[in-house]
Structure formats: structure tokens, C-alpha cells
Structure 1
């Protein structure tokens, strides 16, 4: 089991907060030095009035408060990311349904195994067709799904081509075309893969699916 970036995120958050506090403190010191210098060298005939002094102090206090608030928020975001990574670690070894366009047929000729995949419908459609092609790009099976509502739909392929012949083991591509009243409807294909590891990156938590590549945790449609 591999979980990367957890301790690093905590250290970065703490470092960001400490750095921001230090920067804010330095700015306050510089401001006070400039203010004292200004008071010491002001024109006796035209001294700095109380309103100007109060305004400058209020502005400095506001800027300092905003910096500290931003630093605190960044630290909280870093801790949230670490928490998500630890939670995602429980998915290692489990199967997830994520965007993908390929399925693998194993031992189909021997046992007629069913290959499961999914569709992500961005809208309702009255016609949906799935096309399965081999490694050479040749169409081996066309599945007329019919009408589907918006959302996720789980489908299966029995491993046979359009003539009923069992296909050889291997990887096959799946694609989908959907329409409503003759107008194309956006739809994507989903495939199952096993989680090998998780990682915390700049764009959030990602799942390593081995040969299937990596995917963002937010893109997972189903956990098994």
C-alpha cells in the first residue's frame, strides 16, 4: 500500500502559516519604524493629526489580519487534503468505476465470461448505441441500448461478436453515440479498474489504477 504526500502536506501547511506570520511581523516592524521616523521628522508647524495616524494604524492592522486569515485558511486546506488522502487509502485493492474506453476479455472462450462497463449520460437520450472494436479498430459488436435517462448506466458484454461467435481474450475499445430527437447527447464510457495506490498532488487526491493509468478521486462514479 502506498500513500504519498501526507506528511509533506502537513509540513507545508505549517511552514506556510509560520512564513506568513513571520512576513506579517516583519511588515509591522517596518511600518512602526517608518511611523516613528515620520513622527520624529514631522514639520512642527504642520504635525501629523490624530485622524491620519489612526487611519494608518487601522490600515496596517487590517492588512495584517487579512494575511493571518489567509495563512490559516491555507493551513486548513492542507490538512483537509491530507485527510482525504488517508480516507482514499482505504480504497486500495478495491474496484472503482471511472471514465475509460477499454475493456479486457479474459477466459471468454472457456466460460463465456461477461465484461461489465458503464455509460455516463450527460442528458436523456431516446437512442443509445455502443460500439465495441478490437485492437485493429474493426467493429466486432454493436449494442443497441435504446433510450436512457441522464446519469450512470451499467451494461455488460458477453464477449461475443454480432454473429454470436466468442471473441478471443484481449483488450477491446468501447465507444457510445447517443441522441434525442435527432440531436446528439453528450455521453461517455466508464470502465472498472482496481486501485493500486493513492497520492496527494497539486490537483487533489489521485488514484493509481495500474495499467489503466491515474484518475482524480472526484471522477470516480462508483466504488465496489
Structure 2
């Protein structure tokens, strides 16, 4: 009589049960392989050294767990895709809204320039320097006594500077100490789309950013 050693099937089954990350073998194929080996082992077992029932039960439980996890992962993947589509449908209501995102480009609308910034703490003085593409400062706006948080500013852009790609820099101080600040450029949402499993918004300047890159709605 041909005898198949118990530890051979044990190691094979354990390997099949733990190889969930293998792209070459699916959980279903692992289960079929295990059952075939188990049947072969039962048919050829040594009467003086029979299979351990507890061991077989444990192996079958492992295979069942692997199959269950594979189904759960498939289900979760499907739900994630549906959730992204639902977000995109709801996000359509954002089209036409103005948002603040991290950046320092001065937005121009009909000769009016606007932008924003965030202060980490209260500032006595805030200086906003608006510059051309070559770094030349063309306007300085001074503001005083501002609380921590988000702030905005406006400027009538001269016709000679309109459409030239102006940027701005913010410097804030409290006494003789520098206050941390972050520039927040203003943009308008022109469309909503998805990439991968993430919701994205398309801006009036032609850029597309992830939804979570929006700092604030204006």
C-alpha cells in the first residue's frame, strides 16, 4: 500500500491557506488542491497511524477562511467603486463654486485681483507683495491686527498688468516675531471627475486636483 506522509499534506494545506497574496493561484484553486490531497491521504492512510481529526478540521477551517476573505475583498472593492461614483454625482453640485487651494497665483476676474492666506496665530502686521513673473513687486498691501485663520484681499489690477500671471507673497509678524502663513489662491470649480478611486475637481485655470486638496469653500 502506498502511504502519503501526514506532514506532507499538512505543509501543503498550510501553504495553500496562507498564500492569499499569490497572484498565480486563487483561493478557489487552493481549496480544490487541498481537497484532492486530503482525499488521496485518506485513501492511502496508514491504519496504524491514521489522520488526526483535529488537524484535518483545522486545515479545512483555514481554507474556508481564505475563501471568505477573497469574497470580502471582492465585495469591498465593488463598494469602493460605487462610493466613488456616488461622490462624483454629489460633487456635480460644486461646479461654479469658488474654492481656496494652496498656491500663490493672483486670480483675475474682469480686472479685479483676489487671493487669500492663512495665519497660524494673531498678527500685528501683514504685508502682501504682488509680483510679476520676473519677481518685480508691483503692489504692496499692508494690513494690521488680524486674528489667526483665513483671510482674503482684493486689488484693482492695472490694465497693463492684466493677464500677465501675477503672484503674491505674504509676510506676517507679531511684535518682533514672525507669524507662520500660507498663501491660498482662489479658483472656480469648472467640472468634477474621478481618477482611480478618488474624486477630483477641475479648476478654471485648467488644473485638476484631488477633492481633499481644497482648503476652503468661498
Report the Cα offset of residue 80 of structure 1.
1.0
Cross-structure match for 1:5: none
With CA pairs under 8 Å and 6+ residues apart, which has the higher RCO, 1 or 2?
Answer: 1
Pair 32,185 (structure 1): closer, same or farther in 2 beyond 3 Å = farther
The one of 83, 96, 104 aligned to 2:86: 83
Q: Is the 8 A contact 1:115 1:159 kept in 2?
A: yes
Report the Cα offset of residue 189 of structure 1.
1.6
Report the Cα offset of residue 119 of structure 1.
1.0
Larger Rg: 2
TM-score under structure 2 length normalisation: 0.74
The one of 127, 130, 140 aligned to 1:129: 127
Cross-structure match for 1:11: none
Cross-structure match for 2:150: 152
Cross-structure match for 1:192: 186
Q: Is the 8 A contact 2:108 2:114 kept in 1?
A: no
Pair 82,185 (structure 1): closer, same or farther in 2 beyond 3 Å = farther
Q: How many residues align?
A: 193
Whole-angstrom CA distance in 2 between matches of 1:27 and 1:217: 41
Q: Is the 8 A contact 1:104 1:169 kept in 2?
A: no
Cross-structure match for 1:40: 43
* Secondary structure of 2:134 counterpart: coil
Cross-structure match for 1:168: 161
Deviations 1:188-217 (A, max 9, x none): 222222223222112611112143412211
Pair 60,117 (structure 1): closer, same or farther in 2 beyond 3 Å = same
What's the RMSD between the two structures over aligned residues?
A: 2.8
Deviations 1:148-170 (A, max 9, x none): 4443222222437xxxxx86323
Structure with the higher fraction of residues in strand conformation: 2
Q: Which runs of 5+ in 2 are unaligned?
A: 1-22
* Secondary structure of 1:25 counterpart: helix
Cross-structure match for 1:218: 212
TM-score under structure 1 length normalisation: 0.72
